[in-house]
């Protein structure tokens, strides 16, 4: 995920099993796992995420190359909006992809509630149309200061909870949480406070899927596995079938 616009920093890092059963509910994909499966298993849907760094994206080409979903950066803090958001968000939709918007958090600059409201006002809304993924919170290493933005673990959990609750109150959908296990462990104390409500999008750049997950989380929902590849921007996978991806984009919480 590129976060290279003002205040932004590029992500520092970006199926161990096959799905035996998947239930989509409350905006969360949970799975019962059985046996080992490669990342190329039929229960994986491939996609991408982009920001203003990519500019105008050739969405039809990405779709023809196999991308079926896309996350698009909308906002950062309360002072930045992606100037290419319309082309990227609308273009991916028009190409036939399921798309969603994400917000790059700055917990040191304003409250979680304030940033959620800013995000919603600038592209971070959600509708149960089967084509819109849960709005996503990009919460990760501080690009220009203290790793945890000067917050204690408890204060960070409270900040994320405020953002998540405001998103749910206004959209009836809990946000996807994008993070790395290292940051989550360091800055939230590996909190389990979101395991029952929020899907997790785990970033780790390697050829095998994530095995270290936020406490209480059964499995990853999205995996960012590389910062370049066949699609523009970062390379991502959804842990499930295309039908399950559509359900995630359809069901209210």
Burial 211-220 (b: 16+ CB within 10 A, else e): eebbeebebb
Three-class secondary structure of residue 53 per DSSP? helix
Burial 50-80 (b: 16+ CB within 10 A, else e): bbbbbeebebeebbeeebbbbbbbbbbbbeb
9 exposed, middle or buried (CB, 10 Å; 0-12, 13-18, 19+)?
middle
Q: Which residues are catalytic, by number?
A: 49, 140
Rounded Cα distance between 19 and 43, Å, is 7
Distance separating the N- and C-terminal Cα atoms of the chain: 26
**DSSP-derived 3-state class of residue 54:** helix
């Amino acid at each position: 995920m590129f976060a290279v616009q003002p205040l932004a920093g590029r992500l520092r890092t970006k199926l161990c099993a096959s799905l035996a059963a998947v239930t989509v509910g409350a905006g969360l994909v949970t799975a019962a796992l059985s046996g080992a499966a490669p990342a190329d298993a039929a229960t994986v849907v491939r996609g991408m995420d982009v920001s203003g760094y990519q500019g105008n994206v050739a969405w039809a080409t990405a779709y023809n190359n196999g991308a079926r979903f896309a996350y698009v950066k909308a906002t950062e803090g309360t002072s930045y909006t992606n100037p290419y958001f319309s082309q990227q968000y609308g273009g991916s939709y028009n190409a036939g992809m399921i798309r969603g918007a994400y917000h790059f958090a700055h917990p040191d600059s304003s409250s979680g509630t304030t940033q959620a409201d800013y995000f919603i006002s600038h592209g971070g809304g959600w509708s149960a149309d089967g084509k819109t993924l849960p709005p996503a919170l990009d919460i990760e290493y501080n690009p220009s200061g203290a790793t945890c933005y000067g917050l204690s673990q408890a204060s960070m959990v409270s900040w994320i909870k405020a953002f998540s609750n405001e998103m749910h109150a206004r959209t009836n959908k809990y946000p996807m949480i994008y993070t790395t296990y290292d940051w989550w462990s360091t800055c939230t104390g590996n909190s389990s406070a979101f395991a029952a409500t929020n899907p997790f999008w785990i970033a780790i750049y390697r050829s095998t899927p994530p095995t270290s997950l936020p406490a209480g989380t059964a499995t990853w929902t999205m995996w960012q596995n590389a910062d370049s590849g066949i699609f523009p921007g970062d390379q991502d996978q959804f842990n499930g079938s295309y039908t399950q991806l559509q359900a995630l984009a359809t069901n209210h919480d």
